[in-house]
Amino acid sequence: MKRSKQHLMKRTTRVYLNQLNPGKTATVKNFVYFCHNIMQYYVDLFWQRQDFSGKLADLPTVHLGKNRFLTTTRLCQALAKQAKEIVRSQHKKNVKRKPRLRYHTVTLFYHFVTIEKFEQNGFDWAVKLIGSGAPRLIIPVPSTQLIQQRIADGWLLSKTIRMGIRRDGRLWIDFIFEKERPKLKEEGKIVGMDSNYKNGLVFSDGQTTGDAIYKRTIEFAKRQKHTKAEVKSLIGVAIKQIDFSQIKAIVVEDLKKVKSGTRGTFSRRFNRRLSHWLYRYSETLLERKCEEMGIEVIRKNPWKTSQFCRHCFKWDRRNRRGDKFLCVNCHHGVEHADFNASKNLELLGLLGFYGIHDLQNSCKSKF
């Protein structure tokens, strides 16, 4: 059964090839560098031609690379295609800059690679480079829990892989998994979620999770490398703790509207960029999780959601004192300001307004 690409969810899982023997490691790395050079050659060429088409490169162009790098037509075709996609990505931008390939990464299709079950000595897969411009060799891939979990969850392994070298010289393979996207749930609650890294993720149905992340981040702020890896796993754990069974839609803050510096006062040791990354990362993780469960993610303007009173529909700066919400007009409260924000996001979701402003304007016109 063939389905169009829109019906497919995609996930990649990275495996580092630390156990690969030095000879093979060198061969594979040389191949990645080789591909990188060819790709850079094509990026330069398409940039020079101002070709943003994204179409397949024509044969004379493919042959230019083939003759220059003394390799196969097929490899040049594949790399020219990847170079075109990179150049094309500049097309929409107002200020177009010649793309520089910062990472050593190459996508390999089934012409160059096959993936087979291996199951020996702690290895699960054998990735075989099969020529067509790539070297011929077998890469045993160590088993990882994440890959086993994906397969147990019904994900299908794509025939295409990505391969690359990290800045510290470590070689990796990305496996690509695909699965049909489930239909959106029709039954369930619409729930608002406020993400504030002092208090974690606060849901309008009363669930809270991830309140340990902020503390941990501050403790580790000086050693960013460790922080990111650890915080990633903390966010993963936090999201796993949420009970999604009664939820059909989650209303979250539209991150485009979250200005930097408006997220409360971070201590000086708490890196701004890190906090920004934290929001993005937890949003991505939540989004993926929701996609897999058929839960809709709705984005709303977070402006004033923690100071707005959903009982008298009035907003006042004084409604919020620190973490406490208490309405100065109707005295509704006392509750946590983040919980109030999540309730207001839920309200926006239920009523279909993008922000508090639109909600208030529509009330004014009614009375």
Cis upstream peptide for 334 (omega within 30°): yes
**Residue list 224-283, contact with Zn ion (CB under 5 A):** none
**Rounded least distance, CB 9 to Zn ion, Å:** 42
CA–CA gap between residue 132 and residue 145 (Å, rounded)? 32
Among 64, 101, 312, 326, binds Zn ion (CB under 5 A): 312
CB-wise, 42 or 325, nearer to Zn ion? 325
User: Could you tell me which of 327, 352, 353 has the C-alpha nearest to residue 340?
Assistant: 327
74-82, 132-140, 273-281, 330-338 -> range binding Zn ion (CB under 5 A): 330-338
**Rounded least distance, CB 191 to Zn ion, Å:** 22
46-54, 81-89, 132-140, 321-329 -> range binding Zn ion (CB under 5 A): 321-329
CA–CA gap between residue 115 and residue 243 (Å, rounded)? 36
CA–CA gap between residue 270 and residue 175 (Å, rounded)? 34
Beta strand 156-165 with 171-180 is antiparallel
359 contacts Zn ion (rule: CB under 5 A): no
Query: 80 phi and psi, to 5 degrees?
Result: -65, -40
- Give me the residues paired with residue 157 across strands: 177
Residues in the chain: 367
CB-wise, 212 or 330, nearer to Zn ion? 330
Among 83, 309, 341, 348, binds Zn ion (CB under 5 A): 309
User: Could you tell me which of 198, 282, 199 has the C-alpha nearest to residue 240?
Assistant: 282
360 contacts Zn ion (rule: CB under 5 A): no
Q: What count of Cα atoms within 13 Å lies in the side-chain half-sphere of residue 240?
A: 6
User: Could you tell me which of 93, 11, 102 has the C-alpha nearest to residue 288?
Assistant: 11
181 contacts Zn ion (rule: CB under 5 A): no
318 contacts Zn ion (rule: CB under 5 A): no
Q: SS3 of 130, please?
A: strand
Q: Are 144 and 122 in contact (CB under 8 A)?
A: no
**Rounded least distance, CB 166 to Zn ion, Å:** 53
337 contacts Zn ion (rule: CB under 5 A): no
327 contacts Zn ion (rule: CB under 5 A): yes
For Zn ion, how many residues bind (rule: CB under 5 A)? Answer: 7
CB-wise, 173 or 327, nearer to Zn ion? 327
Q: State the DSSP H helix or E strand holding residue 18, giving kind and residue range, or none if neither.
A: none
Among 218, 329, 357, 360, binds Zn ion (CB under 5 A): 329
CB-wise, 310 or 357, nearer to Zn ion? 310
293 contacts Zn ion (rule: CB under 5 A): no
**Rounded least distance, CB 13 to Zn ion, Å:** 49
**Rounded least distance, CB 310 to Zn ion, Å:** 8
**Rounded least distance, CB 194 to Zn ion, Å:** 18
Among 26, 184, 330, 350, binds Zn ion (CB under 5 A): 330
79-87, 239-247, 291-299, 331-339 -> range binding Zn ion (CB under 5 A): 331-339
216 contacts Zn ion (rule: CB under 5 A): no
Q: Are 101 and 40 in contact (CB under 8 A)?
A: yes
Please work out, in degrees rounded to the nearest 5, the angle formed at the alpha carbon of residue 361 by the alpha carbons of 356 and 362. 100
CB-wise, 223 or 311, nearer to Zn ion? 311
311 contacts Zn ion (rule: CB under 5 A): yes
83-91, 210-218, 247-255, 302-310 -> range binding Zn ion (CB under 5 A): 302-310
CB-wise, 282 or 305, nearer to Zn ion? 305
Token pair recorded at residue 102: 């910062």
Q: State the DSSP H helix or E strand holding residue 303, giving kind and residue range, or none if neither.
A: none
176, with CB counted inside 10 A (0-12, 13-18, 19+), is: middle
Residues of this chain that interact with Zn ion (CB under 5 A) are 309, 311-312, 327, 329-330, 332
